[in-house]
Every structure is written in C-alpha cells, then in structure tokens.
Structure 1
Amino acid sequence: MPEDQQPSPPDDKRPTRRTLVAFVVGAGVVAGAGALATQLLGGGPQKTPPSRTLTPHATATAATGQRTDGLLVDRLLQRPGFTVAHRGGSLDWPEMSMEAYRQSVLLGVNALEISLARTSDGVWFGLHDATLDRTSGTTGFVAAQHSWAKVQAHRITAAETNAPQQPPQPYLRFEDLVSAYGRTHTIFVDPKVVPTDHLGELFALMSALPDPTGTFVAKGYCTAQAWPVDAAARGYRTWGYYYGSELAADPSMLTTTQARWSWLGLDYEATADAWRTLNATGKPVLAHIVPSRAKADRALSLGAAGLVVSGVREVLAR
C-alpha cells in the first residue's frame, strides 16, 4: 500500500485519565467547488462569527464576517503560544462536530483542526478513522463505502470527552466548517484516510475561498508525501508532526522528511533534546496534543511556537 494511504500513527493518543484536561494558551459534496463558492462568495447568507471570538491574528466586521487585516496564517505566527483546537476540542465536546468548533471559537482559540474522510458519493466530512465505529459505536461502518445520507443517520458520541453525558452531535461536512469559520480562523486540514487520487477535490473545496493559501494549513504525519508536496506546490503552508520516541529510534526520520513541512510538530512528552533538535531547524514547532496546563507550560518553555490542544475549556476559561 502506498505510504500516503497507510493509516498514520495516532496523532492524539487520548489520556487514559479524565483528570488530564486539555490545554491551550491562549447532500453530497459540492460538484467541484461550485456550491461552496456560491455559499462563500455571496450566493447565500454569511455566518458571522460569535462576537466573543478572540482572534488576535485577524478581525472581522460584524456585518460581513470578512477579515480586515491580512492573511490568517501569517498573522497566526505573530501570536506566541497560539492555540489550535484539536478536532474542535475533542476532550470537551463530540469531536469534529459543529458544536465543538462553535464552543472553541467562543472561548477564543486562534485556529481549528479537522481530519477528513470521504463518503462514497464524494462528501468530505470530519472523521479521524476509516470507520464510524469509535465515534458512533457502529461495527465495520467504513465511511468510504457509504453515502453521506447513511453517515448522517449516525451521531458522534461524547464517550471520549470529559463530559460523556452530553448529547451526541451530527457529523460535519468540511464545506460547512469552512462556511462558518473560513474567513476568521486558520484551519488545519488533514485528509487522514482518503486516497491521494481524491486530493484534487479537496483542493477545489479549499480554493472556493478568496484567499485559500492564507487560510488553510495542510497537516499530516511527518512521513506523508503527496499531500504536503501537492499543497506546498499550490502555495499552502504545511505542518508535519513527529514523536520524540520515533526520532530517537530513527534519527534520519527528521532529515529525510522535514523539507516537506513549513512548520513542524512534536509531542508534549518529547525530551528537551528532541525539542532542541526540532527548534534548531529554524521552523516553527507546535506541541501536540497537549492534555494539561502543566504540560503546555513545559512545551512553551522548551520553545513551542504554538499548541495543538484537545481540551479548550480548562485553558481558555478566564
């Protein structure tokens, strides 16, 4: 199986103790990009981001929700310790649901992250796995083998959150997330389990925005090839994440893969030596997936430029 189609190592091993609350500092797919472009570029009502959204890297007008001060991605790096809501805040709300992204935006995250799957009828939606089994309790429900209508019959449970009693949420189309927050927030995009021959569709969806390369960051496990290479050729920044234990076992991993990535990622448990090694590349390094304030403080002290976090509520509550 080609490297890009292999399941990537879990980028977000969840804490086994719920006391580890996450940290942060601070139908069918459109035929091409037409439907999304119509929605985003004036063919339908715009969704104005919540007024409490804290986005120091960009501002929005109350009337239109459009940015007023430059590229989101460029501005993001000007905020030391910026925050990226992992799956929208996967320790707080059902992961990659609109409710998760809405709540994390209300609390003031700087960026949003989403993993994508693709249905048999071409709908791109938020899903980390090949199946709905973990998130909905199904058995052998492979997303790529079912239509969007079939996916919509299921809900994302809160079983793996810190509040499992909260109601389940619908799965979220990528285009709906972009419609809601693509003008106000940087969005990290990872086509987790989708074959590379479908990437053209994803680029078309991203290109429906007036400034796609200023909005999206192509995210992936460090050994991914087609996705970061294709994204970089189109002008997108890329973010590849590493694990300190893997780098220690194979020091050549960094030297053979880092050229594909504009920014790098390192797990919060990595040693100080691993952090020094990645920081020595001169590229911004983001800590992932930070589960507590103490771990976040450590990552920042070791030189993390930003934090990809799963528990938004604990850290951003003032």
Structure 2
Amino acid sequence: MPEESVAEISREEISGPEAFQRNVIEPCQPVILRKGCADWPAHRVATKSDRDLREYLCAFDNGQPAMAFVGDTSIAARYHYGSHRDGFNFECETMAIGPALDRIAQCAENPSLGSVYLGSLPAEVHLPGFAEENVLPLVPPTARPRVWIGNASTVACHYDTFDNVACVVAGRRTFTLFPPEAVSDLYVGPIDHTMAGQPVSLATGSSREDPQYPRFEAIRDRALVVELEPGDALYLPKLWWHQVEAQGDLNLLVNYWWDAFAAGPDAPFTTMMLAMIAIAERPAPERAAWRAFFDHYVFRPNGHPLAHLPAEQHGILGPLDKGNYGRIRAMVMQLLRGS
C-alpha cells in the first residue's frame, strides 16, 4: 500500500510538459497540483457566484443533448447500483447543458428535488470554445478536456485505464484513493454492467465490518484522502482507484485522459481482456506457467529477457520505436487470424 499522504507541487514548480512527464507522470504516483487551473477564466468566474458560472457555461452551450444522472433524495446524491445490483439507484435523462444547469440550480434551492449530475462530456462537443479559453499546457494537445457538472454528489470508487488530470474549477472535491494492488480487497462489480463505463468497488462506502466485505477492513483506513480547493488539480496514474465527492451547490470539474506511455494504438486493458479468454480458466498449474512467462517477457522483474545477448541479436524484442512495434503487431494479427 502507498505512503500516508499524496505529494503536492505548485504550478510554478513545473517548467513545462517535459518536466511534468519526467517528475510527475513517470513515477506513476498521484500528485496534487495546487492552483493547477487557478488562472482559467472559468475558475475566475466561478469565484464570483454560481449564477456567473452558469451564464459563462451557457455562452458556450450549443444545445447538444447529453445524458444526465438524476437522483431522488433517498440516495443522498450517492450514485451507485440499486439494492439488487441489477439496476441503478438513479434515472437517466437527456438534456442540453443549459437546461441541466437550470435543474441543478433548482435542486440546490430546493433539496427535496434531489440532485443532477452530468459526467464525462467532451467539451468540444457540448461547449465548443471552452477548451480554447481554459488551457492546461501540461498535457499533450491530443488530450481533450471533458466536463463534469452537478450538485453535491459522490461518484463510486472506480479506476481509469488512462492517465488523468482532474481540474477542480468550482466546488470542492474530496478524492479517496486506493492503489492498483488493492483491487482484490475492494470487491469490484461486473466489468460489463457498469454505471458509466468502468467497474466500481462495492465495498468502498460500506459500513464498518460489513460481513459482505471482510477483506476491505484491512485497507479501509489506509486510503489516501485528497482535499482539493477550487483551482487545484490532481494527477492520477492509470488504474488508481478513486471515489470522488463533490461539495457545493454547483460543481464543475474538467479532466483530461491520455496514455502517457503509449507506443501505439494498442491498450493494456485490451491485452488483459484477451488474456482472460486465453488463460483465466486454464488449470492453476498452467496459469502459473504462463505467469512465469508473462513476468519474464512482459513485466521483466529481472530486466530485459535477452540481456545476455548483444543488442543487435534481440530481434523483435529490441526497442519498440525501432520498428519492432509494427513487427510484433503484425505477428499478433497473423496469430489471431489463425494463419
């Protein structure tokens, strides 16, 4: 498990994208970026009032419909599965940003109306021009911003398969973090029946000593809790579990997803899914044998698998950027075709 706290740096301590990649991303640990988006026009508007922020966002709204989660008061704005996990505890409604902001304001004024939450909306689709006014130069241009808007809410503990920078524009955010190796103790729900694309932890948020989740008690108090003020940002590496609690009548978060270490279009998650159908139900001794080969060739705890040979004899196990990515990919595609 990780250390007791998350590292913090200020925006001024990062000289540019290269330093961000080297000092923040490559260690693969969460990092708080204090005042990471404090210079954004959206944040400055949000410091005036919720009304000013709504007007600012509505100026970009092109009327494109979006999916909104709508919860009644019984869920206390904690969006999750329903009681039997065959459904969810909220309803989905389609609405554009402007009407959604009106509903959010109404719910803030009258809590008996419940809560509204919109997540992962591509800014260029729903708020064209927003990204050009509110720029995070630390991420690559291919990482396009997504917006998350709503009342106070709690989003279930989940992971992302991409690197993530989350910028808190309005409202405070509390992130509760667990490292990737906690996956076995979090009692994760189905991969293919999810609220918003990613599996969630069923144990996070449960009562203490809940008999359904005995292993969770060993890590419950070892979570990393990150408190972010408006204007702050958080870098989260791939596969770090995070529950997100938004506080305030109107909350706005903007995030960026990208793969900071991609050598090509193939994603590690895709590889894992293929491994599940190829390996997961084989006998335990054979799985152990394949684990040894994965360790040797993929995870490489003892270094490069051909370190005992000169580099010019490494063949397709040489550097991927020397043409070997394409060679291995062609071999894989040929194998998948059965030829």
| Structure 2 length-normalised TM | 0.25
Report which of the two has the higher share of strand.
Answer: 2
Between the two structures, name the one with larger relative contact order (CA 8 Å, sep ≥ 6). 1
Larger radius of gyration: 2
| Structure 1 length-normalised TM | 0.26
